[in-house]
Structure 1
Amino acid sequence: MSALWRINLWVCGFFALVTGACAALLLHQALADVERELQSAEAVVHYLSETAERDPASLQPHLTASLRHVRVHWLASGATAQTPAPDGLDAWLGRLLFAEARHSAQVLDLPDGRRVSIAVDPRDEIDEVWDSLQQLLGLCALALILSLLTIRWAVRRGMGVLDELLRALQQVCAGQLNVRLRSEGAPEARQLALHFNRMTDALEQARTDNTRLTQTLLAVQEQERTHLAQTLHDDLGQYLAGIRAQACLLRLVTDQPHLLASTVAQLEDHCEHLQHGFRALVHDLYPVALQHLPMAEAFSMLVTQWQASHGIPCHLQISTDLPLLPGA
């Protein structure tokens, strides 16, 4: 279920509670009003009954037709008074409002031979209460419709910003980091666009930096491979070729002690150079001191070796709060 439907359901439930409370308050007030009206109507019925027994001519139809809550009905000879019963919602409302009301009609035999029925008529009160309920329900329905339309307009406007943000995020997930949101509309939308654009700028800059770093690492790796190949071929390879040639020469000078001693000395010299070359190569690839010494002592050893090899004075200064770093 979407957010709009959930909001509509909450608003409808709230209006239903308010409408029910107002209707209950209206009916409660109507009970008190009906009680007072019926008491007044009972007094009118008694007054008309007494007046009709003394003076039947006082019950003129044009006088009694406009009475509220009182019904005067002329009966034929031998007929009984019958009160028409309401049906439908009027019947339910009548039972609710007039459950304890007195509906019995007074049938009078007048001195002039006519019969008349005078009774309390609750239909006017039912119509008044029903009209009030209809007005309340109509007003609440109109307020509910206006509220739902306003909420729909506001939510649609806000959802438009969210839809645009969702499309932009989908483009970012697809790798399109050059997407930007428009900085317009409500202040919240402008703030959202501002932070989103900052995020995409940072992501694009990070991707550019990563690309540049990757290219730099590849170039450094290629330089290391080239340097390693040149060292193995130009330096160590020559010493190995010389050692091989001198080893073959040993077979030929076994009967010449002076030449044999010279060849052996050259072999030892070549092996020593070869050993130094391998040590330098291993040290360039990964300083062994990093495995056994703290960072500060490893730096100090490196500087000492560099001074010894180059003959250039160098002063090293390391802070005492040098942090511990992982191997990588």
Structure 2
Amino acid sequence: MLASNRITLTVVMIFTGVFSVLSVVMFMQARADVQKEGRAAFSQAQTLAASDISLETLKLLLQSNRDLVLLSEPPTPHSAQLPSWSFNHIFTPIPPQAVQHALSGETLWIAANADAELDEIATTVIQVLSIFFVALLVTLFSLRYAVNSRLRPLAKLCDGLDSMTTGHYQYSGDATDIAEIQTLIDHYNSLTQSLQHKENQVVSLRKRVAAIQEQERQSLARELHDNLGQLITGITVQTYMLSQQREHPEFVAKACEQIQQQCNAVHQGMKEVTSQLYPVFLHRLGLVRSIHQVVQSWQDIHPVNVSWQEDCAPFEANLERDTQVYRIVQEALNNIAKHAQADQVDIHLSTDADDLLMTIRDNGTGFTPDSNHRGLGLESMQERTKLANGSLFIDSSDNGTSLSLRVPVTKEPEHNHAHIAR
């Protein structure tokens, strides 16, 4: 239900309740007034009957009294009350009374008459009802106008929320003096600014990812062409020379040895390329041993001392999660090699009740983690952490950088060690 309709309904209910209470009060007051007037009329009739006036004059005076009714016959138990079509029985609970004329001794029966009071009450009720009706219309019109005019910024805010689905984040409405609505508008503007900033970041990251993908393709193409391609070309040349020197055993043996070495180099090159593309050994070795292997391989080609500590209880393997954690380790080591200028790296893996904990510290130059010009590597690690449902904390200073990763894992039951991530 719209706010204006709900307010209208509330105001109508309030006015109806007030009018009902006022009607009851008016009814009670009218009843008391009728009884008071009736008793006064009876007293006046008794006074007139006791005076020295004729019977005809007394009857005329009683008939002319608007608060009395002169009965033509004495009332009976069945006729004591007035007809059902009259409201007199509601407003005049005073029973009929007898008046004895002092001069003639004749008895006259009279009853209270509420018709005059009822006319006054009806007039008053109509006036009050008219006033209430006019006041209700004026109030509803004023409230509806005020609500619609004051809620207009909310309508524009709703239009702004609808336009967010199309990528438009600007609020086109005016400011308002209603504090609650202005607070909503301020929060909306803050939200849209944040969304716009995030969208700009996403666009920038997409461009950088596309550029890095292109660089990776070029690097892979050069690796395949310059390294593996040359090795395969060498093998081809060696086999051709073997076919030409089949009568010289010494040459054949030496060529076979060279071909074997070149095949080993091709195999190693293929392992390095596939490892960069996808860590296939995660299926066989598990996450912890795979991380240890990549750390050892990294240490073999970088002049950095690596301290490795591992205290992990067996936990169930999860390829998606393990791949993300493995890539985070790779990115962290690559950042150390490219930027840290460190000669000592400490890596510690452990588990607690529900999480895998990993800490990587170096004694390099450090950087500013909250800088607006964060590298793609840090953004990639943050995104991979979210995909693994974990948390990543980076602390860096002039004394080095510390990376702390927490990822939820499921402990392997003690009686089942068929599939563990070790």
> Which TM-score applies when normalising by structure 2?
0.60
* 1:292-303 pair list within 5 angstroms: 292=285, 294=287, 301-303=293-295
Aligned residue for 1:243?
235
Aligned residue for 1:127?
119
Q: Distance in 2 between matches of 1:149 and 1:27?
A: 31
Aligned residue for 2:168?
176
Contact 1:172/1:179 (<8 A) preserved: no
Q: Distance in 2 between matches of 1:182 and 1:25?
A: 49
- The alpha carbon displacement at 1:271 in A equals 1.2
Say which of 139, 154, 157 aligns to 1:162. 154
Aligned residue for 2:203?
211
Q: Distance in 1 between matches of 2:286 and 2:55?
A: 132
Cα distance change on mapping 1:44 and 1:181 into 2, 3 Å: same
The AA in structure 2 aligned to 1:245 is V
Cα distance change on mapping 1:144 and 1:103 into 2, 3 Å: farther
Say which of 90, 96, 102 aligns to 1:96. 90
Aligned residue for 2:9?
9
Highest Rg: 1 or 2? 1
State yes or no: 1:324 paired with 2:407: yes
Q: Distance in 2 between matches of 1:55 and 1:287?
A: 128
* 1:203-250 CA distance string (max 9 Å, x none): 111111111222222222222221111111221111112212222332
**Partner of 1:318: helix, strand, or coil?**
strand
- The alpha carbon displacement at 1:294 in A equals 5.0
Q: Which runs of 5+ in 2 are unaligned?
A: 74-84, 306-342, 350-356, 359-405, 410-420
Cα distance change on mapping 1:299 and 1:268 into 2, 3 Å: same
State yes or no: 1:315 paired with 2:313: no
The AA in structure 1 aligned to 2:42 is E
Say which of 154, 157, 179 aligns to 1:187. 179
Q: Which runs of 5+ in 1 are unaligned?
A: 73-79, 82-90
Contact 1:183/1:190 (<8 A) preserved: yes
* 1:148-170 CA distance string (max 9 Å, x none): 23421332134312211111112
* 1:1-328 pair list within 5 angstroms: 1-51=1-51, 53-54=53-54, 69=67, 93-98=87-92, 102=96, 122-179=114-171, 181-287=173-279, 292=285, 294=287, 301-311=293-303, 314-318=343-347, 321-322=357-358, 323-324=406-407
Cα distance change on mapping 1:52 and 1:141 into 2, 3 Å: farther
Cα distance change on mapping 1:274 and 1:237 into 2, 3 Å: same
Cα distance change on mapping 1:312 and 1:29 into 2, 3 Å: closer
The AA in structure 2 aligned to 1:151 is L
* 1:8-58 CA distance string (max 9 Å, x none): 2232233222212221221122212211211111222233344364597x8
* 1:87-127 CA distance string (max 9 Å, x none): xxxx75445323655499x898x99xxxx999865433223
**Partner of 2:216: helix, strand, or coil?**
helix
Cα distance change on mapping 1:103 and 1:132 into 2, 3 Å: farther
Contact 1:69/1:124 (<8 A) preserved: yes
Q: Which structure dedicates a bigger proportion of its chain to helix?
A: 1
Cα distance change on mapping 1:52 and 1:137 into 2, 3 Å: farther
Q: Distance in 1 between matches of 2:132 and 2:265?
A: 101
Contact 2:35/2:94 (<8 A) preserved: no
Q: CA RMSD in A?
A: 3.8
> Which TM-score applies when normalising by structure 1?
0.75
- The alpha carbon displacement at 1:185 in A equals 2.3
Q: Distance in 2 between matches of 1:107 and 1:248?
A: 157
Q: Distance in 2 between matches of 1:101 and 1:157?
A: 61
The AA in structure 1 aligned to 2:252 is L
Higher relative contact order (CA 8 A, sep 6+): 1
Contact 1:239/1:274 (<8 A) preserved: yes
Contact 1:171/1:177 (<8 A) preserved: yes
* 1:256-278 CA distance string (max 9 Å, x none): 22222232222122212212222
Which piece of structure 1 moves more, 278-287 or 170-179? Answer: 278-287
The AA in structure 2 aligned to 1:205 is H
The AA in structure 1 aligned to 2:18 is V
The AA in structure 2 aligned to 1:69 is D
Aligned residue for 1:76?
none
Contact 1:178/1:204 (<8 A) preserved: no
- The alpha carbon displacement at 1:201 in A equals 0.6
**Partner of 1:176: helix, strand, or coil?**
coil
Aligned pair count reads 302
The AA in structure 1 aligned to 2:249 is P
Amino-acid identity (%): 26
